[in-house]
Structure 1
Amino acid sequence: MIPDQLTPGQYDTVYNLLSLVIAAQLFTALFLVAAQPRVLPRYRQALLVSAVVCGIAAYHYFRIFSSFKEAFVTDAVGGEGTYTQAVGASFNEGYRYVDWLLTVPLLLVELVVVLALARKLQASLLWRLVPASALMIVLGYPGEISDSDALRHVFGLLSTLPFLYILYVLFVELTRSLDRQPPAVRQTISRLRILLFASWGVYPIAYLLPLLGLDGSDAWVGKQAGYSIADILAKALYGLLIYRIARLKSFADDPAFEAAEEGTAHEWPAATRDRGASTTTVA
């Protein structure tokens, strides 16, 4: 439930976190687009999906940010007074769920695509993971907008079932295919799955804050903080790990590509030193 009032500290906390998420998602998306040539063509689709995920999140956080500023206003000079809900305006929590409905399935697509598995196995994983992730989000929304603790419990439990199924597929089914991956890639994928588990675990905690003894504005601000931090971890940081996997697999697949990339990485500093030395000599 949206609180009627926020203290200046609570308002600034939500304001700054929303701003942080926008920056993290937007510039991660730009980086992933710019980094396309740094991996082999077969892995660029995974980076593109990662960039799309972060771009979608950045767009929705712009909308969330605007909704927040319109919903809470103060007449105090310098913004030092209590912020109250503006007449005729309300914070739209639905933006988050629209965002998750689009991005959570794509997060799983990223992982499956970057592994470059056999087409049959890839299709099998996607047909199970994508519908389960969409169902998880759809079942969570009625509880999110409900004022009833009972309904919040019921829909929270229902949305947990597809979440547990996704974890089963990621940690049991997917593990069977990891033996074909390079050792460094296996380690990174293990970290990626742990990141998913840890960051997705923040969402139900934030979702249940009103049922854990917190109420009013404290619970609401805590929920917004939890969702925002989890979104940075589950999208921006996740996308950077997908990029790392794509780089490692590119190097393992094509030693010549690795040599060219490593040569490029060392060429620029050397050229800079040469130019610096020449400049010093002229001076």
Structure 2
Amino acid sequence: MVLAAIIVGIAAYHYVRMFTSWSTAFTVSGAIYTPTGEPFNEAYRYADWLLTVPLLLVELVAVLHITGQQRSGMIARLVIAAVLMIVLGYPGEISSDVTTRLVWGTLSSIPFLYILYVLWRDLGAVMERESAEVRVLLRNLRLLLLASWGVYPIAYLLPLLSIDPATALVARQVGYSIADIVAKPAYGLLIYAIARIKTQQERGESSEGTIPAIA
């Protein structure tokens, strides 16, 4: 829960900075956004991701039935892959060149796919050692992670489509923001439910009253 609080705290700070940067970069008249000449600083979002994405993965490993060297090894692999994913995606994000965006987006996808592979392979093995109730929550957690993280590459590729650049910019920011809400607060609630159930099971208590799992 400490990790979950740190994650949403970091995200809240960077969203305030992004809001300020957006307000400086555009003026609004009715429903029309007009550039002021000041650039919108996308770096705030990537700074947020650089800190929060590795913590999200650490948060997941923390509630799994993994100990010792196996836990340390999994955390190291996931954190390194997460950092590479964010760092490699940033040059393409700030570029208006199609080829540059595609190249860096492709490179960023490699650690992204590796993270999914580790979570599905290693987490799948760990899930077999958990109770049926926890297995359902872990399954839902993986699906939530896949659904929310799947929004990012779609939003990333919007500038490459034949749509108005201003519309693509707004749609990209909306897509990123929706995915962030799902991938941080909602994800944290599922982690909390898993941690609470496991704690109660260790104490021999009933898990009644825990956030219900989706069957």
Q: Letter of the aligned partner of 1:161 in structure 2?
A: I
Equivalent residue in structure 1 for 2:11, among 35, 38, 57: 57
Q: Letter of the aligned partner of 2:11 in structure 1?
A: A
Equivalent residue in structure 2 for 1:67, among 14, 21, 29: 21
Q: How many corresponding residue pairs?
A: 209
Equivalent residue in structure 2 for 1:225, among 174, 178, 184: 174
Structure-2-length-normalised TM-score:
0.92
Across the aligned residues of Structure 1 and Structure 2, the Cα RMSD in angstroms comes to 1.6
Contact 1:133–1:166 (CA under 8 A) maintained in structure 2: yes
Q: Letter of the aligned partner of 2:34 in structure 1?
A: T
Contact 2:158–2:168 (CA under 8 A) maintained in structure 1: yes
Aligned to 1:98: 47
Q: How does 1:183-262 map to 2 (within 5 A)?
A: 183-256=132-205, 258=206
1:139-195, Cα deviation, whole Å (9 max, x unpaired): 000000011100101001000000110011000122112222111111101110111
Contact 2:27–2:34 (CA under 8 A) maintained in structure 1: yes
Shift of 1:127: 1.2
Shift of 1:234: 0.5
Gaps of 5+ in 2: 210-215
Gaps of 5+ in 1: 1-46, 263-283
The answer to whether residue 152 in structure 2 is matched with residue 152 in structure 1 is no
Helix, strand or coil at the partner of 1:73 = strand
Structure-1-length-normalised TM-score:
0.71
CA distance in 2, matches of 1:238, 1:117: 20
Contact 1:182–1:252 (CA under 8 A) maintained in structure 2: no
Aligned to 1:141: 90
Aligned to 1:84: 34
More helix by proportion, 1 or 2?
1
Aligned to 1:123: 72
Between stretches 178-187 and 103-112, larger displacement belongs to 178-187
Helix, strand or coil at the partner of 1:180 = coil
Helix, strand or coil at the partner of 2:34 = strand
Shift of 1:117: 1.6
Between stretches 222-231 and 207-216, larger displacement belongs to 207-216
Shift of 1:116: 4.4
1:239/1:81 CA distance change after superposition, 3 Å: closer
CA distance in 2, matches of 1:177, 1:116: 6
Q: Letter of the aligned partner of 2:80 in structure 1?
A: P
Q: Letter of the aligned partner of 1:55 in structure 2?
A: G
What percent identity do the matched residue pairs reach?
Answer: 55
Shift of 1:90: 1.9
Shift of 1:102: 0.4
